[in-house]
Amino acid sequence: ELISELLGSDEAVRQWFGAGMLENVTLALGLADIDEPWARTLRGG
């Protein structure tokens, strides 16, 4: 409820949690060490 109040919409909450999950996956897979376009896209740059 707090996150929903802070972000203001269900879509914003989904995006926030989704971004957090993607960050965890990229760290777990070690994508920071892979210099490929698809890996750079997933890790955000």
Residue 32 has a pLDDT of: 87
Using the structure block, give the residue that is written with the tokens 């890790």: 43
Residue 6 has a pLDDT of: 94
Using the structure block, give the residue that is written with the tokens 């920071």: 32
Q: How far is CA 29 from CA 22, 38, 43, in A?
A: 11, 13, 11
**Two tokens, residue 34:** 């892979």
Q: Residue 5 pLDDT more than 90? A: yes
| Confidence (pTM) | 0.68
Mean pLDDT (whole number) for 10-30: 92
**Two tokens, residue 38:** 């698809």
